[in-house]
Structure 1
């Protein structure tokens, strides 16, 4: 069953796909992903572009961010984010960090693709146009986390870094941790070359897979019809990393949405030749 369910939205309201199962279990939790509708940005960023680094007018991005925070029941000042670099650095967000990166890139957590917090009233946010959003929720210690995983962050095992940070900071126990993998480019649309796969195969060996049997269905990739190319399933690869990190398979939700296939709903860097906006993943606990 698809975990990310679109909420009905009106003109001027941000398009949101909610992690519905989590929201039903914890009413104070906001967790999900944005679509491309309901904002003020002009083409090619139309309309709900939430990132400051793509060339959009900053005032339009800030208005889109304001709309998103309010729609989720947070103050606009709650939105907090990192300056993503496709790495594996995870930052612990404290009350004093609330709002970092909301108004400009300079105040964001620098070189940071993962964020965790246990402070209510903070809305963790990161930005996407094909990469994989990863979500984490510890219902016992009331802590949440986000990670941005392109292929580089995936092979650097940023998912495991988030788990480790939550264990060390909040006492999170992996058997109680919930995780989710959000809308991102699907295997059929994500073609990579041998240079990328040279990083993937050693990781698969570490995860307990025999990379010698490269056509086996158990692997998160298959050969492309194009010579020297592969179709890589980043969602499945991140799921495998989560399981290795100790998260129970039954506690991992995984979307079927492909950002490249559904450009009527999502921005896609690959499908739109790099000139497009960015969606946002978000997670946070409301103060009341």
Structure 2
């Protein structure tokens, strides 16, 4: 069953929430935006949340405000970073609450992962094909979010996020719930030998079997490969100690579904950004 459930109100942003998490944990808001329900014009139509893609800044901020209204949390709670496709993870406290919501200059700089145990903070990360990773420890009440493109994935940002949750707040990996959100899937994600070699090193490091390797990457010949970033991230989550029964994986492909989502690959780089969000109420 698809864990990300479409939520649409009349004349508002179309959102996808992890409904099972929000039903089980009433203290949590968590989900992923679509491309619909905002004010941006083509090619960013309409719910672009990225300030770095040459959209009109006032439109982007308005879209972010609309998302906050639809989520039902104050705009001042939404906290953004300048992402760099790395594996640096930071703790977000009340001091950082709301950073980056209205400008890039005020965003948390050079981070791709975030954790918090503070109520009233909504962590946000931006996507247009890369893999959103959501984390929640219901025992210690710690939320986390990570941006995993192929670079962040091979740098194991999932392990970095879990380690910070463990060392900072005492989380146990077996308690943590994880979700892999809508992103470009193996049906659409062709990569070259440079990327494939990095992925192969990771697969060797985790002692993946030949069947497991085949599930992650398929050789098309001529130096081209079809890469399943979701499955690679799932394996890395398992390697980090997350229970298989605690991992949700979306089947929604951003490249296949440009009627719902922005796709950097499918739309030739000229497109908007969705956000993933998670916050403690």
TM-score, length of structure 1 as denominator length: 0.95
SS in 2 for 1:97: coil
Aligned residues of 1:131 and 1:185 also touching (Cα < 8 A): yes
Q: Provide the rounded CA distance (Å) in 1 between the counterparts of 2:166 and 2:71.
A: 27
Unaligned runs of 5+ in 1: none
Kindly tell me the number of residue pairs found equivalent between the two proteins.
281
Q: Provide the rounded CA distance (Å) in 1 between the counterparts of 2:10 and 2:28.
A: 22
Q: Tell me, yes or no, if structure 1 residue 161 matches structure 2 residue 160.
A: yes
CA displacement at 1:100 relative to structure 2: 0.8
CA displacement at 1:285 relative to structure 2: 1.2
Q: Provide the rounded CA distance (Å) in 1 between the counterparts of 2:235 and 2:78.
A: 30
Partner of 1:68: 67
Aligned residues of 2:78 and 2:124 also touching (Cα < 8 A): yes
Aligned residues of 1:190 and 1:231 also touching (Cα < 8 A): yes
Deviations 1:79-130 (A, max 9, x none): 1011100000001000111001111112111110001001111110000110
Partner of 1:219: 215
**Residues 22-31 or 37-46, more deviating:** 22-31
Q: Tell me, yes or no, if structure 1 residue 243 matches structure 2 residue 242.
A: no
Matched ranges for 1:33-112 at <5 A: 33-112=32-111
Partner of 1:22: 21
SS in 2 for 1:189: coil
Is the alpha carbon distance of 1:139 and 1:111 closer, same or farther for their aligned partners in structure 2, counting shifts above 3 Å? same
SS in 2 for 1:145: strand
Q: Provide the rounded CA distance (Å) in 1 between the counterparts of 2:216 and 2:197.
A: 14
Runs of 4+ in 1 over 6 A off after TM superposition: none
Aligned residues of 1:178 and 1:251 also touching (Cα < 8 A): yes
Q: Provide the rounded CA distance (Å) in 1 between the counterparts of 2:235 and 2:208.
A: 10
TM-score, length of structure 2 as denominator length: 0.98
